[in-house]
Chains A and B, each alone.
Chain A
Amino acid sequence: MTGRKDATTAGAALLVAAVVGLAVAPGLEPGVQDLGTTLLVYLTVAQAWNILAGFAGQVSLGAAAFVATGAYTAGLALAHTSIGWAAAVALAGAIAGLIAAMLAVPLLRLRGDYFTIGTLAASIAVQALLTNWNWAGGASGLTLPIDRIPAGTTLLRLAVVVAAAAMGLTAYVRYSAFGLRLGALRDNEPAAAGLGVAVYGHRFATWVGSSVLTGMAGAVVAYQYVAVSPSGVASVNWSLDAVLMALVGGAGSLIGPVLGTTIVYYGLTRMLEDFQVLSLLVEGTLLVLIVRFAPAGVLALLTRAARPLRRAATLPAAGTEPA
């Protein structure tokens, strides 16, 4: 009952946040719109990773492959066909999902560290493929037709919709029976399988769903970057950022990646942009500290810190007689 209430609350909060985001977008300064778009893109990628690794226990280093797939799909579609940018986003998600389904054949046979290494290898292979794909511009990449891509308010609204989709899917995983079964697989796969959980089906659905979201985020990246090249959209940094943001905030939770994205991108990357080397050092140190001392992320730390407050609030005041 409590779970259903929490799910309803989360769904309502998400809906309100999305509507507010869509409504306030036109009133923001261009710089804030751009920052918001970037944050929401990172949130989508981190949340997609969170679904896969935080809830399903499949730690991937392959996010970059799907960011690149989405970015190139949208870019090529707009450069060579007459479809609109919105349809190109949908196509980006579809192609990312298709490629994920194909990669599932070898990758989902792997477990643990082998799966992680397999996804990293796939990501590097995609980057190498794009670098040598002359029709798509090779190492120089391609430039999107500026007149046909969204910018400013429209781009921010698109980012809000894509991020809302990521948050919505995460909320579904967090509160549904499907998510419970994923958690069972993550914690003890043989036991879950013994109880009748369809292992491959659940892993496949999570892998493809996460990749679709990442591919759609890639399309937004393409619209923001205007020029897409293997060194940018296929950079392994996308995968590392997704891991860092989700872990810092708290993997396996709905809010963790929101917190992580804000801390890592806005708090570190953006605030320390004048000190790039320091920024890298702080990010690396933070990751080590989080993994060592707070593996459940900053969200868990905050929750723990607030526990005494909650206890104090629920205790009867001194001298009050129980009824």
Chain B
Amino acid sequence: MIRRIVATALAVTTTVGLTACGSNSSSEGSTDAVVIGASMMLSGQTNLETIRDGYQWAVDEANAAGGIDVGGAKRKVTLKILDNRGDTNTMVQQVRSLALQDKAAALLGSCCQQNIDMSAQADSLKTPLVMGALPIELRPDGKGYVWDSFQSLVDGAGGFFQVAATAGTNKKILLITNNDSQGKSTADLYKGLAGKAGFTVAVSTDAPAGTTDYSDAIGKAKAAGAEVVIASMTPPDCFAMWKQMKALAYTPKLAIGLQCAQTPGWASLGAVGAGTLVQMSWIRTSGLPKADEVVSKYSAKYPNDNDLSSVALGYHEATILLAAITKAGSTDHEKVNAAIGQTDLSSALGKVSFAGGKSATPSFVGQWNADGTITQVWPKQGASALKSLSGLA
């Protein structure tokens, strides 16, 4: 009897709860705030607070101007950002909750592999998603609701080989990547370009994310005399490998950390990370719109250009979305989606014009300094001279 009472109470509670949960109504056609949602890694192994700050900056700027113009009416923007702790399951549930319960007009992206998983949700929910932090070649084909404005791997790789050609190495490469889609694409791309640039891939290997022992790859690279390291890996893996290269006295003359040296946290390697090259979509010497404002507004909080580039990225993505909502004159998903496709503006990462859901931003190659700052080494305009790979010397 008691169990039956408990079960009944539970059923009633659940039903009431579910009903309450579903009481939100669509903001379409209303003067309520426009909701934009994002599920991001804000705690755990990777912290994207830099990108979040960029999102918030764009929204604050819009709200300070009285909101955005939606169909002739000024509406404030509410940016609802949830921390998914880097957990895929949490991310999926949050994205679905943002789209279905919070009635978000559109979504903003997270980073890396999460953006791939999030893309499937955006297509499934028919909710526009504007994202960066995932090279445009890696964005999976979908149903047309995902928009990626970020750098192109090809452009960055071309820049890297131009820099590498001047570094005085024996042109033998250790190529190591994660075994995910980004890693595989990167490996294929660099293998193809290496031959054309006169380099030889002496050792090529991949490893699942989470690998902690790279002694085998390092041993092979030493045996092959590889003086150039190209690593495309998640940050913790990369950090482990850089420390092991140092510990095992492997002394390449040139190294680039794709993904990993580009994410917040690389500076934690300290002197070991000095001299490593990094591919970037923004740098203070880039001459891009708002570059000075990014520096003046955020350099006290984020001293190095790597973090500042993420702030610029966040601002860039959010600006694209806000402009599209205004252009659509509506928060209707289909109208906003169509408007994003017609974007024609210039923001913190340069000009935006989508083709096939992608709009490439400029590429830069930077070099980490021992003091945690980054110096542009490519392209020539705004660049300084390449220094030695002192961290692994």
Contacts and interface: CB of A to CB of B under 8 A. Distances in A.
Interface of A: 9, 13, 17, 28-32, 34-36, 38-39, 128, 131-132, 134, 137-141, 143-144, 146, 151, 224-227, 229, 231-233, 235, 237-238, 253-255, 258-259, 262, 266, 269-270, 273-274, 276-277, 280, 299, 302-303, 306-307, 310
Contact of B22 (A28, A139, A266): A28
A225 B120 contact: yes
Contacts of B87: 235, 237
A131 B208 contact: yes
B10 A235 contact: no
Given A138-B181, A238-B89, 10 more contacts: A29-B100, A35-B21, A128-B208, A132-B179, A139-B178, A143-B142, A255-B3, A259-B10, A273-B82, A310-B1
Contacts of B17: 262, 266
B1 to A, nearest CB: 7
Contacts of A232: 88-89, 92, 117
A31 B97 contact: yes
A31 B21 contact: yes
Nearest to B101: A31
A143 B139 CA distance: 12
A235 B94 CA distance: 17
B13 A262 contact: yes
Given A36-B18, A146-B123, A276-B43, A139 B10 contact: no
B113 A32 contact: no
A303 to B, nearest CB: 5
Nearest to B92: A225
Contact of A255 (B10, B97, B142): B10
B119 interface: yes
Contacts of A225: 92, 117, 120-121
Contacts of B43: 276-277
Given A35-B18, A146-B143, A273-B94, A226 B89 contact: no
8 contacts: A9-B4, A30-B100, A31-B97, A34-B96, A36-B18, A39-B14, A140-B182, A262-B13
Given A255-B7, A258-B10, A31 B22 contact: yes
Nearest to A13: B7
Interface string B1-32: 11111110011011001110110100000000
Contacts of A262: 10, 13-14, 17
Nearest to B82: A273
B370 interface: no
Interface of B: 1-7, 10-11, 13-14, 17-19, 21-22, 24, 42-43, 82-85, 87-90, 92-94, 96-97, 100-101, 113, 116-117, 119-121, 123-124, 140, 142-143, 178-184, 208-209
Nearest to A302: B6
Nearest to B178: A139
Contacts of A29: 22, 100
Contact of A38 (B1, B93, B119): B93
A306 B6 contact: yes
A273 B19 CA distance: 18
B1 A276 contact: no
B5 to A, nearest CB: 7
B10 A310 contact: no
A276 B44 CA distance: 11
Nearest to A262: B14
A169 B116 CA distance: 37
B5 A306 contact: yes
Contact of B113 (A140, A146, A302): A140
A177 B96 CA distance: 43
B2 A226 contact: no
B44 to A, nearest CB: 9
Nearest to A313: B1
Contacts of B101: 31, 34-35
B46 to A, nearest CB: 13
Contacts of A253: 3
Nearest to B94: A273
Q: Which of B4, B13, B96 has the most CB of A within 10 A?
A: B96
Contacts of B120: 143-144, 146, 225-227
A138 B10 contact: no
Contacts of B178: 139
A146 B146 CA distance: 14
Contacts of A299: 3, 6
Contact of A226 (B18, B24, B123): B123
A139 B113 contact: yes
Nearest to A24: B15
Contacts of B124: 146, 151, 226
Given A32-B19, A303-B2, A229 B93 contact: no
B116 A303 contact: no
A138 B179 contact: yes
Contacts of A224: 92, 96
Nearest to A29: B22
The 5 closest A-B pairs by CB, nearest first: A232-B88, A227-B120, A31-B101, A32-B22, A139-B180
A274 B82 contact: yes
B100 A31 contact: yes
Contacts of B97: 31, 34-35, 270, 273
